[in-house]
Amino acid sequence: MSTVRTRIAPSPTGEYHIGHLRTCLYNYALAKKNHGQFILRIEDTDQKRFVPGAQERILKDIKDYGMTWDEGPDIGGPYGPYVQTQRLDVYQKYIRQLLDKGLAYYCFCSEDRLNEMRQIQKTAHQIPKYDRHCLNLSKGEIETKIKNGESYVIRLRVPDNQIITFTDAIRGQITINSQDIDDQVLIKSDGIPTYHFAVVVDDHLMKISHIFRGEEWITSTPKQIILYEAFGWEVPIFIHLTVLMDPSGHGKMSKRKGSVSARSFLDEGYLPEALLNFLMLLGWNPGTDRELFTLEEFIQEFSLEHLHKKSPIFDRKKLDYFNGLYIRQKSNEELFPYFRKFLPAASDEQIKILIPVLKERLIKFSDLPGQVKFLFEDIDYDKELLLKKGTSPELATEMLTKTKELLSDFTNLVSRIQNLVSTNAWNTGEFFMVFRVAICGSAFTPPVVECLPALGKEGTLHKIDIALQKLK
């Protein structure tokens, strides 16, 4: 295959996983670097788990992370349709070829019989495999059963005792004996193909040259190699990526331990370019210490040779570092829509005041509402918090009363408050603890004086009055 053609093939059975986004990123980079095509195909053969609207959300997720495709269900292309349930006639054509060659066969076994068979095999500590009860049915028997309306599936006739070998771009040559492979179902009883059959037919007809997927699919790859060989088709290059490990280092990322969908990270206030940069390095490195890459720079640097064999840890602290770095690289104008999204109650003028004050220490945008909650409501707190640094109620009252008098004029606030502290020989840490708690209702706040213009004179004086009341 002279042209590099990669694909992602999400299933509309739920939200798009962050691990799938990394796979998407690597597919995208390889295709673009080699001036090839990046294809999006929807694999919806699992109709029992189909979630309405999931397809549209998945496509939006990928676009919101800055990637687009050259062929897909929304834009078409020369090898469509790009939704599997719209290709059922295609699969019928190719299953007929296998049946005619004796490489596939009808199976009429009931679910009860299959369950009983598996239980016997389990008790005998055998590999669970279909026992080929229906393999040698005559043509007449098959026709009679079908005519009588008996339910059936179509299974692959796996070759006996054959060594199946394929080369993984990360791990090298992998070999498995066909004796360990089940006669898998290719067409289900409802006429819809299984994943293993449809993916091979589609990847061949769509001329896919490289297949990225998780390492959990390694044991299934020989099943697909058998199908490629049965049709006499060229086998694409397989790249089985490591799984993303939970931050604890124990087990892969799981919904039980926090958000794992690609959309959830955007909802939490991570920049798409920061998350992509973080994902680039989870399973790949450039061979140097460099860490920061735009998407275009990553495309130029990406190579299969630098993909890792060891599963990386999804280190959220490192992600936070990247996100903060990317936030600080953006202009105030670029940050405005993000502040607007996460601070819907703020006015445009307030946002313009807050951006330069908060951007230098902001980790993710979802932190904003908590940081500036005091702008929009009165935060209740105990009097003792005002006196956290051992300040007496009398001194705290003096500090706030004199500050209130100074705030009749809102110009040059920083220097004038510093002069007030100096003139009265107050301890700077003590003063700002009292003032911070009075304004924000918390001991841990953004730069409080710089935030006062966003709160306004009236709001500021109101907060001080509340604190003075507590000190009485």
**Quick check: 9 and 43 in contact, CB under 8 A?**
yes
Buried b / exposed e over 279-305, threshold 16 CB at 10 Å, is bbbbbbebeeeeeebebeebbebbeee
CA 350 to chain centre: 33
Angstrom distance (rounded) from CA 412 to CA 371: 23
Residue for token digits 């794992």?
260
CB-based contacts of 14, cutoff 8 Å, min separation 6: 49, 51, 54
State the catalytic residue, choosing from 255, 309, 341, 457: 255
Residue for token digits 């919806």?
44
**Quick check: 36 and 5 in contact, CB under 8 A?**
yes
What single-letter amino acid sits at 224? Q
Angstrom distance (rounded) from CA 55 to CA 70: 17
Total length of the chain: 472
* Bridge partners for 167 per DSSP: 173
Angstrom distance (rounded) from CA 186 to CA 191: 10
Given CA atoms 416, 422, 428, 432 in this order, what sign does their dihedral have? negative
Active-site residue flag, 255: yes
What single-letter amino acid sits at 325? L
Q: Would you name the residues annotated as active-site residues? A: 255
